[in-house]
Amino acid sequence: MGLNPSFDCSFDLGSRNMDQNHNWINDPRQIYNDTDFRDIDTFISSDFRISTEEENLTVDYQTLNDNQKKVFNRIKSHYYDVLVEHQVEPLRIIVMGTARTRKTYLIEAIRGRLQEMAGTGSKLPIVVLTPTGVAAFNINGE
Say if residues 76 and 113 touch (Cβ distance below 8 Å): yes
Each domain of the chain, given as residue ranges in start order, spans 17-46, 61-139
Say if residues 72 and 109 touch (Cβ distance below 8 Å): yes
pLDDT score recorded for residue 132: 81
- CA 129 – CA 114 distance, rounded (Å): 17
pTM assigned to the model = 0.57
Say if residues 142 and 136 touch (Cβ distance below 8 Å): yes
Residue 93 CA from chain centroid, whole number: 14
Name, in order, each residue with C-beta under 8 angstroms of 39's C-beta and a sequence gap of 6 or more.
Answer: 46
pLDDT score recorded for residue 66: 93
> Along the 142 residues of the chain, how does pLDDT read in single tens digits?
556 666 555 666 667 777 778 777 777 777 777 777 777 666 655 554 444 444 555 678 889 999 999 999 999 999 999 999 888 898 999 998 888 888 889 998 998 899 889 887 788 788 888 888 778 877 776 6
pLDDT score recorded for residue 53: 45
